[in-house]
Structure 1
């Protein structure tokens, strides 16, 4: 009889990423596996979570996770995030559901071509500047407009909620050094980055190949998450900070989760990624044939391509 922790996953039964639960945060608990469900246990008891329907699992302080649970999460393509206090840092992600390299190749073709990269960056910024024509703007002009736009958004949210606001201030090495609203913004951004990272890897794109951002293993995550901050993480942070005695971790994450559901962000992010990268929105490929690259075509792998002995190929 098979061990319940070793029941194989039928990969064709996995939920598409745009239909998954955005993220689940766990702290001070034990994460284990029972058949194809995660079990999360603490002093209050155990809860069962369908792993195949989850996009990202955020593991906070005091969490223990078993080998069986990690094997399940990796097999079903759930991004696993080990976080510091308040969910600030991202450490790892599981194996994505998509096995094809087609989206990664399309992304690399854009990032490695200067004109196509600039055109894609302009398209990303145009998604934020609804009433502005940025078709001829340089990158420095785009960054300047984005900076001015963000100042207006922060001021507008502060006026709407009554939360005191001076400027965005964030020390990645000292979360508690910021004022309440800056801590809330940092926590909200971390949750949004987790969702974006989960969707990007699930579709087979490369988190490190950024269009606007560069030089970090999550450059593309920041590119995509920035498209939605004005609608998701920033309002969620200000709404949370407006409540007396709010928690910059749990309260903010709940509000980000509600915004993700309200805006149907998972589905929208999938559509936007395919549009920006000029890829087709096809079903996730679970079984893909391994091939070898050749100058003019791809050829089968698993074959010994050595010339027969005695044949002169010169």
Structure 2
């Protein structure tokens, strides 16, 4: 990204330079790249940005590369990354949208296997769900609660939260309404909620893939494409999406402004340190140690 954009403090992910690369001794979750090209030079992967700066990437120390807008990659670069067990994801700007991901056949599957083991055991799966719900119900004993009961409690909590925020910010609220494919028909509050939720899903999708977990194996949600992403997103929605949507509604004056919403969302993600926090949170709710952070 251009340096002036990074200096504004509104970007989640900063420009890659020789100085900002991770230490060789560290195993780094991911690097984000945009507006440039990945090529091979003497069997090493190099990044050529839009200003013609060349940075050699320590692929062996990176779990995953996130390729943002304006990027291209050669076939040889993909081969070298596969040999180094470095995954690759195609994402929107700042990883606010997640499009696709790829991993090599020899990638470390320990995290995914552990996730599947927990999900396949009804007792352990319920324990994970309880740890997730306990983040929202800190003063409630959930020991004997079933998944259905906890989901009912969560539904009531969120409905009450919407009403509380509407009253706090003086917003007229008729309920959560969104029809896929017809974003324009929603009111301003629902538009902000929908766009912030999508951005949160994009960030979490990138992190989950980069750590070697599966977005398709959830513990609370089911019958949807990305249940684990939705499970995790509920840990952060109150501040990042719900409070933000109601707090911005009146200043929008009836007109949804995408850039203003995106900037405010980024600021909240940075303040929360979401990119660092979610890695530890996944370990805590699953009750396991992250293989990608231990491995090298």
Distance 1:95 1:38 in 2: 24
Q: Confirm or deny that 1:33 pairs with 2:37.
A: yes
Decide whether aligned partners of structure 1 residues 132 and 56 sit closer, same or farther in structure 2, where only a CA change above 3 A counts: farther
| SS across alignment from 1:33 | strand
Q: Counting helix residues as a fraction of each chain, which structure ranks higher?
A: 2
| SS across alignment from 1:129 | coil
Q: Confirm or deny that 1:164 pairs with 2:172.
A: yes
Q: Confirm or deny that 1:16 pairs with 2:28.
A: yes
Runs of 4+ with deviation above 6 angstroms: 46-55
Cα deviation digits, residues 132-173 of structure 1 (max 9, x gap): 111111122111110111012212222232232110001112
Decide whether aligned partners of structure 1 residues 20 and 267 sit closer, same or farther in structure 2, where only a CA change above 3 A counts: farther
Cα deviation digits, residues 238-285 of structure 1 (max 9, x gap): 233232356453222222211111111122211111122222145547
Q: 2:161 aligns with which of 153, 156, 159?
A: 153
Distance 1:148 1:20 in 2: 39
Cα deviation digits, residues 268-312 of structure 1 (max 9, x gap): 21111112222214554788xxxxxxxxxxxxxxxxxxxxxxxxx
2:271 corresponds to which residue?
262
Q: 2:132 aligns with which of 118, 124, 127?
A: 124
Distance 2:76 2:250 in 1: 37
Cα deviation digits, residues 67-114 of structure 1 (max 9, x gap): 459968x9564532369xxx9975313549x93211111100111111
| SS across alignment from 1:80 | strand
Question: Which protein shows a greater Rg?
Answer: 1
Distance 1:281 1:123 in 2: 17
Q: Confirm or deny that 1:201 pairs with 2:212.
A: no
Contact 1:158 1:164 in 2 (8 A): yes
Distance 1:150 1:70 in 2: 49
Q: Give the TM-score normalised by structure 2.
A: 0.72
Q: How many residues in Structure 1 have an aligned counterpart in Structure 2?
A: 256
Task: Tell me the CA shift for residue 196 of structure 1.
Answer: 0.9
Q: Give the TM-score normalised by structure 1.
A: 0.68
Decide whether aligned partners of structure 1 residues 248 and 267 sit closer, same or farther in structure 2, where only a CA change above 3 A counts: same
Task: Tell me the CA shift for residue 227 of structure 1.
Answer: 1.0
Decide whether aligned partners of structure 1 residues 71 and 253 sit closer, same or farther in structure 2, where only a CA change above 3 A counts: farther
Decide whether aligned partners of structure 1 residues 280 and 53 sit closer, same or farther in structure 2, where only a CA change above 3 A counts: closer
1:274 corresponds to which residue?
283
| SS across alignment from 2:144 | coil
Distance 1:71 1:251 in 2: 37
Give unmatched runs, 5+ long, in structure 1: 1-8, 40-45, 288-314
Q: 1:80 aligns with which of 85, 90, 105?
A: 90
2:72 corresponds to which residue?
66
| SS across alignment from 2:101 | coil
Distance 1:65 1:109 in 2: 37
| SS across alignment from 1:163 | coil
1:217 corresponds to which residue?
225
